[in-house]
Amino acid sequence: MTSDYREIFGAEGPLARVLPGYSFRPEQAAMAKAVARALANREPLLVEAGTGTGKTFAYLVPAMLSGRSAIISTGTRTLQDQLFRRDVPMLAQALGMPLKIALLKGRSNYLCRHRLDLASHQGSLLDGERGAARTLGRVMRWASTTKSGDLAELADLPEQSPLWPSITSTRDNCIGQECRQFSRCHVMEARRAAQAADVVIVNHHLLLADLALKDEGFGDLLPGADAIILDEAHQVPETAAQFFGKSWSARQAELLARDAAAELKAAGVQAPPLSAALEDIGRRIDGLRRTLSGGAPRRDWTQLADAFLDELADLERALGAAAAALEEVGAGAGTANCARRARALASTLAALRGASDEQGVRGVETGAAGFALQFTPFEIAARLRECVQARPCAWVFTSATLAIGADFSHFAARVGLPDARTLCIDSPFDYRNQARIFLPPSMPDPKSPAYGDAFIDACAPLLEAGGGRAFLLYTSYRGLREGVEALRRRFPDPPFPVMVQGEAPREVLLMRFRELGNAVLLATGSFWEGVDVKGEALSIVAIDKLPFASPDDPLLAARLEGIRRRGGNGFTEYQLPQAVLALKQGVGRLIRDFDDFGVIVIADPRVATKSYGRAFLAALPPSPVITDAASGARFLSEHLTKRDPVATAAAGAG
């Protein structure tokens, strides 16, 4: 293994010969060297790599050159697909290293042939979805030709389609080797390809499910891996909490009842006692819904009515009765699996009802799909540490936002690795010349009804000077709605295209934003990270408020309660560091390339008026801070004029 990556990443190296527009970045070589050391020593490493470092190549190159097998885990499907379809094959070619690469997604992304057969037999499955029979026919035609079974091949089948869960499997409803389609199972084929690959690309949900659930029916992904590299690692703690807690949903029970009915119909079996037991489950769920109607969407366990708790106990007994009836029917592997699912749902319900409030927070959430019971542990750090220690390989956690300044203690504590080696690499971008940070003066209190209009008024001179070209990022959907109304009042006939999150899928909005070149996009959380718009199409990133998590968030409540019980300060230990990291993510949308430029707007007056504001300012890029909108407008106009004088003149005239 090479000890100095400057030759590989240098101007005369193999990457420069293959990649158009390639340039040497010493920060990239430094990160690669640190990753190589972690691989050689089989040790954990935490790396914050500033935007523009090229961290993807910085961990892929040493992983490939090490000759060891590696699992690359990402926080988004977008990055997962980019790694599989572009980055890894490109590097393998550049380095002259033929590799076996596998893309592995969760079960819900692959067609289940057995459940497709059930769907074709279950006519009632199609009720309530317009055109569902036609859609099912299209899926069946595709199923006869697909090799991978990846539902992403069906571009016209949205994930929200009611058909989706009916033609995919879950860990609970998969019948494993007893399935008649087992030899042709797409999930099994994908797992076999992963086991034979040199590089396996997964996402955090799948990796953590494998860690937490040990899906023995399909083998463990991890024993054969020499390195596990987690990109977008700042998402790991929140994702882990979902898998190390407990959850139970009405949807799970309803799908069980429907699947059991489908299995009986497919087997041609009449079982009145079982039908009655399944109907009893439906009645119990309807009763629980009625007790929850009209209340808050999120309720703690202590706020639940006695009638709800009593009905839960009855539902647990109904699930047990359904399991017994299914076992008695004995109509094959399908009904046997439904019996196991019913037992598991009853067991989970019992565990939730009896969970200790000393270890976590219990609650109920209601929504369009029904209701769900959740238990969120106060801490998941110990579980994550056990997972790392149980697998003696290199663990590399990397993101553009892991540290507060150069301090990794917050993130390291959350993943249970307080003693891990750390590396903080600054961005190679010239923020002093490429950007300005605008702190609008005289902003009202963020809770003021006038705040939405004041935010738009503060941004207006920049929008006019830039001719649009902006992300207006909000910390809540309520703020977004108020912002849309405020923008319409300020610009009744806007001289730039206006786009709003929710009008189209995120990727469609981003594609339009890039193509238009002068749009203004108003959005919330999903646009704060994982969004890459290079060039002058994005020259303003404006953030309405400091991104403190909602106090109604059950994960936040669990964390704060756990800190309180051990005598800590939830604000300074958790809320403030999380908000600082979130702000870094949002601000990071602006400068994505060496030629980018623009203005960052932080409108929240608490940055200047509260003592904790210093933590936010210290986390911002080293750009000059201005408090005069006219200065920001001149900065934009000057840079746009250098790029395209004609277009700038036209924008000013408009």
> What's the pLDDT tens digit per position in 454-472?
999 999 999 999 999 999 9
Structural tokens at position 570:
């939830």
Residue 647: its pLDDT value, please? 47
Beta bridge partners of 482: none
Residue 228 has pLDDT above 50, yes or no: yes
Query: Cα separation of 112 and 122, whole Å?
Result: 15
- 64-to-100, 368, 421, 646 alpha-carbon distances in Å: 11, 46, 22, 47
pLDDT computed for residue 222 by the predictor: 60
Q: What does the pLDDT read at residue 378?
A: 82
For residue 17, CA distances in Å to 28, 66, 447 come to 17, 21, 55
End-to-end CA distance of the chain: 59
Q: Comparing C-alpha atoms, which of 399, 474, 409, 430 is closest to residue 621? A: 430
Q: What is the pLDDT of residue 112?
A: 92
The pLDDT, as a whole number, for residue 562 is 83
Q: What pLDDT is recorded for position 372?
A: 92
What residues are paired with 522 via a beta bridge?
472, 500
β 394-399/227-230 pair status: parallel
Domains within the chain, CATH numbers bracketed = 6-99+198-242+380-425 (3.40.50.300), 107-188 (no CATH), 246-377 (1.20.120), 431-653 (3.40.50.300)
Question: Order of strands across the sheet with 70-74?
Answer: 101-103, 199-203, 70-74, 227-230, 394-399, 44-49, 421-425
Q: Are 197 and 102 in contact (CB under 8 A)?
A: yes
**Residue 122 pLDDT:** 65
Block residue for tokens 């100095």: 4
Q: Is it the case that residue 170 has pLDDT exceeding 90?
A: no
pLDDT at 526 over 60: yes
Higher-pLDDT residue of 412, 327 = 412
d(CA 274, CA 264): 10
**Region 486-509: what's the mean pLDDT?**
92
Dump strand ranges (E) for 493-622.
498-500, 520-523, 540-543, 598-602
Whether residue 219 is predicted with pLDDT greater than 50 in this model: the reply is no
User: Cβ distance 569 to 500 under 8 Å?
Assistant: no
Mean pLDDT score, 254-280: 84
The sign of the CA dihedral 373, 374, 375, 378 is: negative
Q: Is the pLDDT of residue 234 over 90?
A: yes
Which pairing describes strands 421-425 and 246-249: parallel, antiparallel, or unpaired?
A: unpaired
What is the arithmetic mean of pLDDT over 489-499? 95
Residues ≥6 apart with Cβ < 8 Å to 155? none
> What residues are paired with 375 via a beta bridge?
246, 362
Reading the block at residue 59, the tokens are 């961990």
Give the pLDDT of residue 367. Answer: 82
Please, are residues 412 and 420 in contact by the beta-carbon 8 Å criterion? yes
- The answer to whether 52 touches 59, Cβ cutoff 8 Å, is no
Q: What is the H or E stretch that residue 622 is in?
A: none
Instruction: Between 236 and 334, name the one with better pLDDT.
Output: 236
Residue 321: both structure tokens together: 């009765």
